[in-house]
């Protein structure tokens, strides 16, 4: 029993090091340029025969089916895990193994930064493979994607038109005191205040808002559910949820107070992916018009202008709401700093 | 005669040493590994600076996590809240579970078999779904019950009942844990030898004296074990405090840990979380000592001896119908309501508060979708495999560990008793992360397979298994085993032919408990799940918490409830729970 399960660790380390040295590098090699590159990639992807995609939503099944229809020779296997959980898993696998267990991740810069910082994400010259420049971000490490937008919405059956807040200060009115407003436990959606005024003023505002007694729900899903049942008059969180409510004929409308925060979610592959060619092919397809259309059809779309890009974009345009895009690592980092500061004030 | 005795006894002792002692040592060593692994990871992580690192990465050792914990004024409020919450929830849960145990095991209450199945089946409903049902009923703004009360009294809202309170958390959690506690303690009532009470009464003792001097002391080890055990377990309860406490900033340790894990930061702060968990561990250690002192003389509580025992029923007479009415009232609140909410949600076309008019719009579309989903089929198969293997392996291991704990006077016995208990205080997220970090570096086909989830669940459920088996062994006097040994039976033969048949009920109930809890386990399958080992709860978790689709999540829960209900029925028959109601 001496040493317990860790007694074998030094030996395992040696075995792993040897395995790392002996085993061949991933089969992916830089492809030639242009359509020839795509053909080569497609050929190699078919040889690999499958691709493993981590999803954060089971609703994405129609997208999987659309890809399978286009590439029947490549079996698209998917599993569900939150971005936060998969990041921890992938870092652990990358540190301990020659190969990770996933090819394509659904990632945003807030959650994906640890992978980018550790240089676990694979880089690629995507433009050579025909990906539009507008679909590339985070120095080309993340491809395509859609936005989740944090904003405010209200229940028109419970809130008179004249009462609807038009400015941040309106939320300090006594009518919104005592758990009339709900947000998520991280309070991240209220971080938008830091983009409207300087730090000390934003801090002072949040202190006053904390005095209003806001309900902090476990997550957006729970908050939305309670909002839908009429428990809260105003919710501060994902606007995407608001669209879902509208689709289910729940009374809901946007509070025209901005800016809103748009967290872009895209797709990335990893240096140690088991099927590097198939992974790239899937990402290219997801960033293509066909892939974007499939994503749009399940409600995952860009908040970016032009206004007719999606219902969400139209909604934001109509309300003339400024959008803060977290499209670079620096912006994501700044948002994280603001978020921590806001939380310390709102929930000391 | 002396020579004959020696001839008989010496080989028996020799066999006892060679097999039993070896098996005991091996089993305890295995348990030690299972306990030590997450504890080592927990302690190690609690001293690591992990603000943007994982604990095994290049970071420093620090006391910062503990300093942060001690310096934060909120920590002490949280500690106090946690203690109150655990006391209240366990108090409520235990009181109800004991009443039901007594009614179902000691009396001739009518329709007992149906009631037991109804009592146990809701264990398979995810607690988040159940808690949402309570919110629909009792939230102060528009909870159905509050609205009715306001209409009736003419009072203005919100209220008058506020479920978002410490009391609300206690009651919801307490009621939620009744089936689980029932499984743990009911067999103690089932095996209770009523002749001991009758003897006391015959000797002139009053009913109260008999209850105080005979009944309570005999049940004490099992009940005390259960109470301490559930107290520790409640410290890790999450759903109730998250849904009912967090919106009003009422934190207990589990939600405080959640808050430290789910911040805007990209990586969870495992160091700080582990420091929190260390507090729970320290609390559990104190309770282990308390528990060990309370069961020092275990043999005093044996009620099944070689002199025969006879569980008998108390005739409630006309009161049986009142008892039934009370039980039905409880079921309506705790079992039928969540079941109705789950069914309603699975059949309703969209968001809607339950109503008769809404029934006309009911749809089976979600069930059809699930029936055609390959992912769900695979997840369901994984779930059945994982839960069956977990329940079987944990029950077997628990049977051995608890026997060693009860019968061995050596250090191995004490270790077998205490070690599983310690793991109880380790939050599931830490346990799952420890397994992830450990097995990812081991070149065995465990990581990414169903095995890693099975191992995780065995580690998590071993304390429950030993708590179910331990009291059952305590009630069997050693003289039965000694008689078997003197007759030449080996330890294994004694176990198989004497001990296990006597504790068969506990074995089956333990198995059922593991299976049902395995089907609803979330954290371990979610953290350790991958492409090949996703379970239904992983899908349910994503559907509910990432997509907010309570309706689809409820639809996924229905097959689990049906499977667990049928299993409960089956196990109930196996363990003679379903005695004829005409008794």
Ordered structural domains, chain B, with CATH: 19-347+362-574 (1.10.3720.10)
Residues 332-361 of chain B with CB under 8 A from chain A are 350-351, 353
Cross-chain residue pair A102–B350, CB shorter than 8 Å: no
Tens-binned pLDDT, residue by residue, of chain B (583 aa): 444 444 444 444 444 456 667 777 888 888 888 888 888 888 998 999 988 888 888 888 999 989 988 887 788 888 899 999 999 999 999 889 988 888 888 888 888 877 887 777 677 677 777 787 788 778 888 787 888 888 888 887 677 888 999 999 999 999 888 888 887 777 777 766 677 777 887 888 877 787 778 877 777 777 777 788 788 778 777 778 888 888 888 988 888 877 776 666 667 788 888 888 888 788 877 877 777 676 665 555 555 555 545 556 778 888 888 888 888 888 787 777 777 877 887 888 765 666 777 777 888 888 998 888 888 899 999 999 999 999 999 999 999 898 888 877 777 777 887 788 777 767 777 788 888 888 887 878 888 899 999 999 999 899 888 888 887 787 777 777 778 778 877 777 887 888 888 888 888 888 988 898 888 888 888 888 888 888 988 888 777 766 667 788 888 888 888 888 788 777 766 664 444 333 3
Of residues B554 and A27, more confidence is placed in B554
**pLDDT above 90: residue A203:** yes
- Chain B: give the shortest CA distance to residue A36, in Å: 32
Going by pLDDT thresholds of 50, 70 and 90, the confidence category of residue A304 is: low
Going by pLDDT thresholds of 50, 70 and 90, the confidence category of residue A277 is: very high
Q: How far apart are CA B519 and CA B565, in angstroms?
A: 12
Assess B451–A contact: CB distance below 8 Å, yes or no: no
Cis peptide bond upstream of B395, omega within 30: no
Taking contacts as CB-CB distances below 8 angstroms, the residues of chain B near A191 are 264
Taking contacts as CB-CB distances below 8 angstroms, the residues of chain A near B135 are 226, 231
Cross-chain residue pair A4–B267, CB shorter than 8 Å: no
What chain B residue is nearest to A247 in terms of C-alpha separation? Answer: B350
Interior angle at CA B245, CA B239 and CA B249, nearest 5: 135
Helix (H, G, I), strand (E, B) or coil at B551: helix
Going by pLDDT thresholds of 50, 70 and 90, the confidence category of residue A233 is: very high
- Chain A: give the shortest CA distance to residue B98, in Å: 33
Cross-chain residue pair A230–B141, CB shorter than 8 Å: yes
Please give the pLDDT value at position B63. 92
Q: What is the pLDDT of residues A76-88, one digit of tens each?
A: 998 888 777 888 8
Residues paired with residue B151 on neighbouring β-strands, in sequence order? none
Of A1, A191, A339, the CB nearest to B32: A1
Cross-chain residue pair B243–A186, CB shorter than 8 Å: no
- Chain A: give the shortest CA distance to residue B181, in Å: 27
- Cβ-count burial of B426 within 10 angstroms (0-12 exposed, 13-18 middle, 19+ buried)? buried
Cross-chain residue pair B264–A347, CB shorter than 8 Å: no
**pLDDT above 70: residue A268:** yes
Neighbour tally for B492: CB within 10 Å = 12
Class of domain A148-263+304-346: alpha beta
User: What pTM was computed for the model?
Assistant: 0.77
Contact B50, B271 (CB under 8 A): yes
What chain A residue is nearest to B136 in terms of C-alpha separation? Answer: A229
What chain A residue is nearest to B142 in terms of C-alpha separation? Answer: A231
Residues of chain A with CATH 3.40.190.10: 4-145+264-297, 148-263+304-346
Helix (H, G, I), strand (E, B) or coil at A331: helix
What chain A residue is nearest to B354 in terms of C-alpha separation? Answer: A229
Cross-chain residue pair B258–A185, CB shorter than 8 Å: yes
Q: How far apart are CA A270 and CA A277, in angstroms?
A: 11
Given the candidates 3.40.190.10, 3.30.572.10, 3.30.160.270, 3.10.20.310, the CATH classification of the domain at A4-145+264-297 is 3.40.190.10
Please give the pLDDT value at position B193. 67
Assess B433–A contact: CB distance below 8 Å, yes or no: yes
Closest among A172, A238, A185 to A215, alpha carbons compared: A185
- Chain B: give the shortest CA distance to residue A283, in Å: 18
Radius of gyration of chain A (CA): 23
The verdict on ipTM greater than 0.90 is: no
- Chain B: give the shortest CA distance to residue A341, in Å: 10
Helix (H, G, I), strand (E, B) or coil at B435: helix
Assess A217–B contact: CB distance below 8 Å, yes or no: yes
Please give the pLDDT value at position B312. 64
Tell me how far apart the terminal alpha carbons of chain A are, to the nearest angstrom: 46
Taking contacts as CB-CB distances below 8 angstroms, the residues of chain B near A211 are none
Q: How far apart are CA B10 and CA B20, in angstroms?
A: 15
Assess B156–A contact: CB distance below 8 Å, yes or no: no
Residues 6+ apart with CB under 8 A from B365: B349
Assess A238–B contact: CB distance below 8 Å, yes or no: no
């Amino acid at each position: 029993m001496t040493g317990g399960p860790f007694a074998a660790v030094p030996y395992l380390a040696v075995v792993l090091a040897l395995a790392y040295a002996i085993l061949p590098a991933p089969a992916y090699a830089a492809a030639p340029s242009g359509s020839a590159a795509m053909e080569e990639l497609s050929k190699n992807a078919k040889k690999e025969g499958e691709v493993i995609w981590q999803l954060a939503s089971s609703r994405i099944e129609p997208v999987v089916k659309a890809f399978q229809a286009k590439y029947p020779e490549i079996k698209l296997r998917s599993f569900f895990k939150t971005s936060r959980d998969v990041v921890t898993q992938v870092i652990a696998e990358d540190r301990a193994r020659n190969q990770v267990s996933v090819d394509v991740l659904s990632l945003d810069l807030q959650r994906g930064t640890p992978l980018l910082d550790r240089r676990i994400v694979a880089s690629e010259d995507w433009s050579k493979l025909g990906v539009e420049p507008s679909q590339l971000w985070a120095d080309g490490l993340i491809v395509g994607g859609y936005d989740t937008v944090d904003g405010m919405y209200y229940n028109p059956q419970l809130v008179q038109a004249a009462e609807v807040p038009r400015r941040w200060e309106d939320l300090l009115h006594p009518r919104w005191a005592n758990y009339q407003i709900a947000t998520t436990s991280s309070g991240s959606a209220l971080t938008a205040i830091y983009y409207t005024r300087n730090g000390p003023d934003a801090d002072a505002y949040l202190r006053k808002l904390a005095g209003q007694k806001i309900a902090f729900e476990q997550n957006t899903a729970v908050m939305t559910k309670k909002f839908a049942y009429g428990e809260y008059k105003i919710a501060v969180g994902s606007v995407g949820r608001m669209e879902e409510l509208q689709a289910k004929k729940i009374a809901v409308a946007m509070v025209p107070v901005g800016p809103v925060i748009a967290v872009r979610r895209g797709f990335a592959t990893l240096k140690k992916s088991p099927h590097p060619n198939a992974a790239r092919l899937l990402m290219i397809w997801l960033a293509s018009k066909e892939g974007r259309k499939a994503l749009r059809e399940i409600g995952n779309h860009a908040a970016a202008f032009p206004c007719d890009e999606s219902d969400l974009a139209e909604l934001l345009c109509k309300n003339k709401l400024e959008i803060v895009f977290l499209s670079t690592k620096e912006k994501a980092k700044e948002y994280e700093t603001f978020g921590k500061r806001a939380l310390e004030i709102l929930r000391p | 005669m002396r020579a004959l005795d020696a001839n008989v006894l010496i080989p028996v002792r020799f066999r006892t040493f060679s097999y039993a002692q070896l098996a005991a040592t091996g089993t305890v060593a295995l348990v030690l590994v299972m306990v030590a692994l997450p504890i080592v990871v927990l302690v190690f992580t609690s001293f690591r600076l992990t603000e943007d690192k994982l604990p095994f990465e290049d970071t420093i050792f620090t006391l910062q996590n503990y300093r942060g914990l001690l310096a934060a004024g909120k920590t002490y409020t949280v500690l106090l809240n946690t203690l109150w919450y655990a006391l209240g929830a366990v108090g409520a849960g235990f009181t109800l579970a004991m009443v039901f145990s007594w009614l179902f095991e000691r009396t001739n209450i009518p329709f007992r078999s149906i009631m037991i199945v109804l009592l146990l089946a809701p264990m398979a409903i995810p607690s988040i779904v159940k808690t949402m049902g309570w919110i629909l009923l009792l939230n102060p703004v528009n909870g159905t019950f509050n609205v009715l009360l306001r209409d009736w009294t003419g009072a203005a809202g919100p209220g008058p009942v506020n479920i978002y309170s410490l009391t609300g958390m206690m009651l919801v959690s307490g009621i939620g844990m009744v089936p689980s506690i029932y499984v743990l303690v009911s067999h103690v009532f089932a095996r209770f030898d009523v002749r001991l009470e009758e003897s006391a009464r015959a000797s002139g003792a009053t009913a109260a004296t008999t209850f105080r001097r005979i009944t309570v002391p005999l049940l004490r080890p099992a009940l005390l074990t259960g109470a301490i055990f559930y107290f520790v377990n409640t410290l890790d309860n999450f759903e109730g405090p998250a849904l009912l406490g967090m919106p009003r900033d009422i934190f207990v340790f589990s939600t405080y840990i959640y808050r430290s894990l789910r911040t805007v930061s990209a990586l969870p702060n495992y160091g700080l979380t582990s420091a929190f968990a260390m507090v729970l561990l320290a609390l559990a250690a104190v309770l282990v000592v308390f528990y060990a002192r309370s069961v020092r003389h275990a043999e005093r509580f044996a009620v099944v001896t070689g002199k025969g025992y006879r569980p008998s029923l108390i005739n409630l007479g006309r009161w049986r119908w009142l008892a039934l009415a009370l039980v039905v009232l409880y079921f309506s609140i705790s079992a039928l309501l969540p079941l109705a909410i789950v069914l309603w949600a699975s059949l309703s076309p969209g968001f809607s508060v339950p109503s008769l008019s809404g029934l006309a719009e009911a749809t089976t579309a979600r069930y059809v979708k699930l029936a055609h989903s390959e992912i769900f089929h695979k997840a369901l198969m994984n779930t059945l495999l994982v839960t069956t293997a977990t329940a079987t392996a944990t029950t077997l291991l628990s049977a051995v560990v608890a026997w060693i704990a009860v019968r061995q006077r050596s250090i191995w016995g004490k270790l077998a008793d205490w070690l599983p208990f310690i793991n109880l205080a380790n939050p599931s997220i830490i346990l799952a992360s420890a397994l992830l970090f450990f097995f990812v570096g081991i070149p065995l086909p465990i990581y990414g397979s169903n095995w890693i989830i099975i191992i995780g669940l065995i580690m998590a459920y071993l304390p429950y298994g030993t708590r179910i088996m331990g009291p059952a062994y305590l009630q069997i006097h050693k003289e039965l085993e000694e008689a078997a040994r003197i007759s030449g039976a080996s330890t294994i033969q004694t176990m198989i032919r004497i001990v296990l048949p006597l504790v068969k009920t506990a074995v089956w109930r333990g198995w059922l408990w593991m299976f049902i809890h395995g089907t609803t386990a979330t954290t371990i399958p979610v953290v350790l799940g991958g492409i090949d080992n996703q379970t239904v709860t992983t899908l349910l978790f994503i559907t509910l918490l990432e997509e907010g689709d309570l309706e689809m999540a409820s639809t996924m829960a229905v097959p689990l409830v049906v499977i667990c209900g049928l299993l409960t029925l089956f196990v109930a028959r196996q363990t003679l729970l379903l005695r004829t109601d005409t008794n």
